[in-house]
Amino acid sequence: MGDGNGPGTSEQEDSLGAGWERHRPAVFGVAYRLLGSVADAEDVTQDVWLRAAGADLRGIVDLRAWLVTVAARRSYDILRSARFRRETYVGPWLPEPLLTGPDASQPVLVDESVSSAMLLIMEELSPPERVAFVLHDVFGLEFGRIAEVLDVSVPGARQLASRARRRVAKAKQSVPPAPKAERERVLAVFRAAYEAGDLAGLVRLLHPDAVYVTDGGGKVSAARKLIHGGERVAEVMVRVGRQWRPDRIDFAEVGGELALVYRREGRVYSVDTVQIADGLITAYRRVINPDKLARV
């Protein structure tokens, strides 16, 4: 791939600097989509920068593809070890919230593939399937590069991407994303009912089979199992709302979708995303693990 190991010239360094600023969002973006962690994606981005700065890039024709490939290879290594970390994680695991609105500190290529729902769908894929899907279907890399990352044949990489695409399409078909206007309306009504402690109002907004997921990571008090049923979820939310008493609940764009950010005493203590179908909340996902909120 023309990696090289020798130091670059001053001209090369200047060229890399310009190219890096342009392609850094893609480097971060591929790592975040593969790992679901802002912290890990930032580490990968730094690793890629160090690798690029120490490489001879004069033979690289497509710098973006090269950088994304390096990021994917490093993320793939982490992803395989992350499977073990998931197994030992305390309680349900949710992706680390990524601010994607105009005030976001970390630029990223924003589309549905960074939403919490999509990241959870991809979490069900095997690491090779996830890499093949993200690199080909999201970033448009050729299968030759993907095969090198995964150490498989080109037909093998193509098959992995195809299998992942079918699984993702099937999952998306069962939970299609709600239109932006519908999401805004439902979350506005939900916030008002939550702030008022309106149990009946929350029940009306929750699907009878709604599921409530809280990610505390063992760092703070949180339900370690999923809570099922609209009425039960509403009761828990009202009780938690009385205990937490947030100073304010803000709207924010997280993973390309409108979400709720709960603040108390000047700090964020919860970032909540929802899944909506036919005007009702079918899944409510709450991240309260402080390690995952440090960058919000």
Q: Does domain 180-293 have CATH number 2.60.120.10?
A: no
**Residue 157: strand, helix, or coil:** helix
| Mean pLDDT (whole number) for 83-96 | 84
- Where along the chain do its domains lie? 10-174, 180-293
Q: State the Rg of the chain over Cα.
A: 21
Asked if pLDDT for residue 1 goes beyond 60, the answer is no
Instruction: Using alpha carbons, select from 187, 171, 168, 192 the residue that is nearest to residue 281.
Output: 187
3-state helix, strand, coil split of the chain in percent (to 5) is 55, 15, 30
Superfamily of the domain at 10-174:
PhyR, sigma-like (SL) domain (1.20.140.160)
Could you tell me the strand order of the sheet in which 248-254 lies? Answer: 227-228, 206-215, 280-287, 267-277, 257-264, 248-254
* pLDDT tens-digit readout, 176-188: 888 999 999 999 9
Q: What pLDDT band is residue 3 in, cutting at 50, 70 and 90?
A: very low
Question: Which is more confidently placed, 228 or 12?
Answer: 228
Query: One fold for both 10-174 and 180-293?
Result: no
Q: Would strands 248-254 and 206-215 be described as parallel, antiparallel, or unpaired?
A: unpaired
Question: Which is more confidently placed, 243 or 11?
Answer: 243
Instruction: Using alpha carbons, select from 82, 178, 87 the residue that is nearest to residue 130.
Output: 82
* pLDDT tens-digit readout, 244-267: 889 999 999 999 899 999 999 989
Q: Report d(CA 289, CA 292) in Å as an integer.
A: 5
CA atoms within 13 A on the CB side of 256: 17
What is the model's pTM?
0.89
